[in-house]
Amino acid sequence: MRITKVETIRHPAFPRFTWLHMHTADGQVGLGEVGHFSTAAEAIMHDLAPRFLIGEDATRIDHLWTKIHDHLAIFTMGGSEMRALGAIDVALWDLAGKRHGVPIYELLGGASRDTIPVYNTCIGSDPIPDNRRFLEDAGSLATELIDEGFGCMKIWPFDGFASRSHGQLLSNGDLDAGLAPVRAIRDRVGDAIGIAIELHGFWNLPCALRIADALQPYRVQWIEEALSPESLGAQVAFAKACHTPVVSGERLVTRFAFRGLLEAGGATIVNPDLTWTGGLGELKRISTMAEAFRIPVKPHNEGGPVHHVAAMHVAANVPSLYLLEMVRHNTHHLFPQLVDELPPLVRVPGREGRAEARLALPAGPGLGISLSRRITDDPLATRRFTA
């Protein structure tokens, strides 16, 4: 299964994304994707292709990953380089699944569950403007999500106040205003839906602790990325002081960085991003390592449709899954424009007789999706090849 050509595809209507097609001598095509700073990652993929991919055996996934990783580590760690490696890794796993005629999760060790538990991250613009609604009408948004079967929603009501002081000072008024959407949800639906709070690492340690203390009466499900990952000591201090589960790790790169976080006790749930941390295989390795610490994994999943489905394969497999992030604006509106055979959101019997929203397992083989011909056959699409 020799790699013969690396192809990247971009479309002006979706400038955030670069898609990767990895071609082999037997006519198979593996699919990968970059969703942030993708023009830089595209250049890196083509730079890596002649040295590390063309002519190589696509079945040697770990060997190729290690060669590329070790080369990149000489110069840098993270950013567009790791996003490029993540896309390459996903394409290799897609090829492996197609070679064996099975979904990728079967190659990882099989399914640990029949459907994938999810929560909704409230981003997105029209026609599903959750990003605006959680600030303006959080109670009705919570009601709508409950009706759709979601058991948890993630919001970030404090972000708008961080820019006033670069996250160094949080006034009592701003703290109270940030709590308003949380209060609105609890006033409208009580405990019928979990609330997760995202802080995006915008705050210093004292402000993050004030927010965590103020949230305690509302029984939030977790606090995510309270602090920037550069300071492990501050993360550990926050995790030890916080009485709410602490999620961290989406900006860490590879298992080597996660080892330090886990050993130090800087998180009670880890949320590696499949593409940012180096790919599908690396997400699996991080999940397995975290399991040894009795720490569950909640993959960060705010990328494109290929990232989304690749994360689903890992989520289907790993026993230590907490929840998988999803964005209903993406799954309901954006992704169907970009790929075919997207695994659907299904309803299963849940607690208290309510139907629960979950993702169906990907059908495969490989990822089980393909880039839509609306993208590949559009003359506006641009393609670049390295052979």
Q: Residue 32 in contact with residue 88, Cβ under 8 Å?
A: yes
Catalytic residue among 21, 300, 307, 313: 300
307 annotated active-site: no
Q: 379: which 2 tokens?
A: 């003359």
Q: Residue 178 in contact with residue 215, Cβ under 8 Å?
A: no
Integer angstrom CA distances of residue 282 from 31, 122, 225, 264, 279: 17, 27, 20, 20, 5
Q: Residue 18 in contact with residue 307, Cβ under 8 Å?
A: no
Catalytic residue among 46, 200, 332, 333: 200
200 annotated active-site: yes
Query: Which region holds residue 219: left if phi is over 0, alpha if psi is between -120 and 50, else beta?
Result: left
Q: 214: which 2 tokens?
A: 């103020």
Sign of the CA dihedral running 213, 214, 216, 220: negative
Active site residues: 200, 300
